[in-house]
């Protein structure tokens, strides 16, 4: 049997992360194959446990091929060897453990601290954060006993529970109990690798704006910008994964707000302004990462305007400066963060905005460099605050940047 531990790997690459994926017996197991494949491609070391019933849906060969390592089953658990017990080795090896799909059966065992197979023994023989990703039929998920077990685990800070989605289930029911999608699970794992499971935003409410506003001239034309809202989405995800209650005010996007986030869709700067002011009172941290159009057409035509009339139809007027208005309305305990997307010198214009808009801190990010800024999955930035602190963040994923921002806020305020 191949040992899960390669003592050289962490020494050669100290940033290498180790994720132990435990697969339960549900049809959603097939989606976990995609998760394993993506984890491997992102440079994470992956080991996989399959319960006996998981093997009715996918085989050890499938996951071994995708993870480039032997997959472990209860047969390995009961193998007589002279090495250390497998559940101890796997438990010590993992930085993060993910149980997906989490079945009602495994959930019940975890709630009662039972240990009758490799998966449950490994959970009990380890201390790393455990991400629980339930998937089951709606009636099963909504059973009082299942919900009681779920609540029971939520009081243990070691367990991070992902919400289930709603939709068409494999049993042909449409309802709750659908497993979170692999990209969302992946993001949660990346968060846990960054935070090591700490929930430093528990009890906090975070209000985030994301995306570029659209200022319509007629039903088909608008003034806009290339913002995709990915930075705001990453901030919402990072806040959620650190325990905050999150409201995300966002413009039309090609992504879905994460399960568990209160999403408020808006289109124009005026609508974003109204929504941000409405949700401001309850927020502890407000991050205005949206790219708001600076101007809007003065008039709106309900009919599509003829092309020839466009040059005359475009008198413009300014839109409200939302973040400056929030700064006037906010209480002293609330932290307000703005963004400054800049070309060339990014520091001085950001310092000016920090002061002029009366923000607590600002994220200055370049939009004229390869693979950062609008539309990219990555970003680089300098965080500046009213205490004169300046922290440069090297190019990284937008999720990593979001976590760095919360680390910065938590250290400073």
Please report how close the Cβ of residue 269 comes to ligand C5P at its closest, in angstroms. Answer: 6
Q: Which residues, in sequence order, are CB contacts of 1 under 8 Å at separation 6+? A: 70, 76, 79, 81, 86
Catalytic center residues: 171
Write out the DSSP string of 281-338: TT-SEEEE--B--SEEES---SSPPPGGGTTTT--EEEPP-HHHHHHHH--TT-EEEE
CB of 200 closer than 8 Å to CB of 403? no
Query: Is there binding between residue 383 and ligand C5P (CB under 6 A)?
Result: no
What are 351's two structure tokens?
């310092």
Query: Is there binding between residue 405 and ligand C5P (CB under 6 A)?
Result: no
Please report how close the Cβ of residue 404 comes to ligand C5P at its closest, in angstroms. Answer: 17
With contacts defined by CB under 6 A, name the span among 49-57, 142-150, 156-164, 315-323 that binds ligand C5P.
315-323
Query: Is there binding between residue 212 and ligand C5P (CB under 6 A)?
Result: no
CB of 336 closer than 8 Å to CB of 288? yes
Query: Is there binding between residue 339 and ligand C5P (CB under 6 A)?
Result: yes
Residue owning tokens 């001085």: 348
Number of residues that bind ligand C5P (CB under 6 A): 13
CA distance 276 to 138: 35
Please report how close the Cβ of residue 401 comes to ligand C5P at its closest, in angstroms. Answer: 15
Please report how close the Cβ of residue 292 comes to ligand C5P at its closest, in angstroms. Answer: 4
Binding mask 316-335 for ligand C5P (x = CB under 6 A): ---x-xxx------------
When the beta carbons of 74 and 321 are compared against ligand C5P, the nearer one is: 321
Terminal Cα distance for the chain, rounded: 51
CA distance 413 to 394: 22
**Residue 175, phi then psi, degrees to nearest 5:** 175, -165
When the beta carbons of 60 and 212 are compared against ligand C5P, the nearer one is: 212
When the beta carbons of 22 and 276 are compared against ligand C5P, the nearer one is: 276
Residues contributing to the site for ligand C5P (CB under 6 A): 269, 288, 290, 292, 294, 319, 321-323, 338-340, 353
């Amino acid at each position: 049997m191949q040992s899960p531990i390669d003592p050289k790997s962490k020494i050669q690459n100290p940033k290498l992360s180790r994720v132990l994926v435990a697969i339960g017996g549900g049809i959603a197991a097939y989606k976990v194959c995609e998760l394993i494949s993506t984890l491997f491609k992102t440079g994470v070391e992956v080991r996989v446990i399959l319960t006996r019933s998981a093997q009715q849906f996918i085989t050890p060969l499938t996951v071994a091929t995708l993870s480039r390592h032997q997959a472990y089953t209860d047969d390995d658990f009961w193998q007589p060897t002279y090495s250390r017990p497998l559940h101890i080795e796997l438990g010590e090896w993992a930085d993060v453990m993910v149980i997906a799909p989490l079945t009602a059966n495994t959930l019940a065992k975890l709630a009662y601290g039972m240990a009758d197979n490799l998966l449950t023994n490994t959970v009990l023989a380890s201390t790393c954060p455990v991400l629980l990703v339930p998937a089951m039929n709606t009636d099963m998920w909504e059973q009082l006993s299942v919900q009681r077990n779920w609540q029971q685990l939520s009081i243990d800070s070691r367990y991070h529970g992902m919400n289930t989605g709603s939709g068409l289930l494999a049993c042909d029911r449409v309802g709750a109990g659908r497993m979170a999608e692999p990209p969302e699970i992946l993001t949660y794992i990346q968060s846990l690798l960054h935070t090591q499971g700490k929930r430093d935003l528990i009890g906090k409410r975070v209000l985030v704006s994301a995306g570029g506003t659209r200022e319509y001239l007629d039903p088909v034309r608008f003034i806009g910008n290339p913002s995709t809202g990915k930075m705001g989405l990453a901030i919402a995800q990072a806040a959620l994964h650190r325990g905050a209650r999150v409201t995300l005010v966002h413009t039309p996007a090609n992504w879905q707000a994460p399960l568990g986030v209160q999403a408020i869709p808006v289109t124009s700067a005026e609508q974003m302004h109204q929504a941000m002011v409405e949700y401001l009172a309850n927020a502890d941290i407000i991050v205005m990462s949206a790219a708001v159009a600076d101007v809007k057409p003065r008039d709106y035509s309900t009919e599509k305007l003829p092309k020839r009339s466009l040059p005359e139809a475009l008198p413009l007027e300014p839109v409200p400066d939302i973040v400056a208005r929030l700064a006037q309305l906010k209480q002293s305990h609330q932290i307000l963060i703005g963004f400054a997307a800049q070309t060339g010198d990014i520091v001085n214009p950001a310092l000016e905005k920090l002061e002029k808009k009366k923000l607590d801190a600002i994220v200055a990010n370049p939009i004229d460099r390869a693979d950062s800024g609008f539309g990219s999955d990555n970003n680089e930035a300098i965080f500046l605050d009213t205490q004169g602190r300046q922290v440069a963040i090297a190019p990284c994923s937008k999720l990593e940047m979001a976590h760095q921002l919360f680390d910065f806020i938590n250290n400073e305020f």
